[in-house]
Amino acid sequence: MATIRVHDKLFEPYLSHHAIAEKVKTIAHQINTDYKDRKPLFIAILNGSFIFAADLFKQLSIEAEICFIKLASYKGTKSSGQVITAIGLDTDVIGRDIIILEDIIDTGKTLHEFLPQLHHQQPASLRIVALLHKPGSSIHPVHIDYLGFSIPNKFVLGYGLDYNGLGRNIDEIYKLVE
Ligand code: IMP
Ligand code: MG
């Protein structure tokens, strides 16, 4: 199997570009149906979600807006447990149909910190879309309304996800060889 090395670690192919693209199409179709005539505001969480956000957004046929915030809790291949807001929300949320867009939900810590802040600003509705979920490492359970893939508790990279800054440009998702 074609393994790749990123920094000091080996990764093996896990989810193909084709499988990801099909899933993105399915999720977009569901959102197009559910949000017909509603003009939702997507809030994508940087950095990891930028490729998923772009691909999903291009598949939307409804009127929709998108903005970005930057929250981070990861160092290397382990969650640091501390969530830092590096770029905050600059768009009004009150009365809007909000869809949070995440690359991966792991411990749930990031959203556990962010969701109460958002509720406080009184959106009309709030849903979550995530490409990946690791239910095995959940500390704060998060209800995901639109999910791509449920995956085992293994570190992954590619398609926007990084290992210490590298690997985001890889077109498919790889997992750590242990
Ligand atoms: P949580 O707060 O633990 O749910 O982590 C959420 C964030 O950690 C994600 O949005 C990712 O940016 C990052 N993350 C979690 N698991 C992985 C992984 O396997 N590879 C790369 N980044 C990850
Ligand atoms: Mg992220």
Dump pLDDT digits (tens) for 40-96: 999 999 999 999 999 999 999 999 999 999 987 766 777 766 777 777 888 999 999
What's the residue count for the chain?
A: 178
What is the domain count for the chain?
1
Across the chain, what does the average pLDDT equal? 94
Per-residue pLDDT, 137? 86
Q: How far apart are CA 59 and CA 157, in angstroms?
A: 23
Mean predicted confidence (pLDDT) in 17-26: 98
> What tokens does 162 get?
């990084």
| Per-residue model confidence (pLDDT) at position 75 | 66
CA–CA separation, 53 vs 132, rounded Å?
13
**pLDDT at site 30:** 98
CA of 2 relative to ligand 2 center, distance in Å: 26
| Assigned token pair, 19 | 């499988």
Which one of 103, 113, 150 would you pick to mutate in the ligand 1 pocket, going by the greatest count of ligand atoms within 8 A of its CB? 103
176, pLDDT greater than 70: yes
Render pLDDT for 115-174 as a digit per residue (tens, 0 to 9): 999 999 999 999 999 999 999 988 999 999 999 999 999 999 999 999 999 999 999 999
Task: Write the CATH number for 172.
Answer: 3.40.50.2020
- For a ligand 1 pocket test, name from 46, 52, 71, 74 the mutation site with the most ligand atoms within 8 angstroms of its C-beta: 74
Q: Which residues line ligand 1 (CB under 6 A)?
A: 45, 48, 73-74, 79, 102-110, 155-157, 161
Give 6 or 78, the one with higher predicted confidence: 6
pLDDT, residue 51, reads 98
Work out the angle between the directed axes of helices 50-58 and 17-34 (0-180°, nearest 10): 60
Domain that holds residue 170: 4-75+82-176
Catalytic residue numbers read 106
What 3-state class would DSSP assign to 164? coil
Average pLDDT over residues 101-117: 94
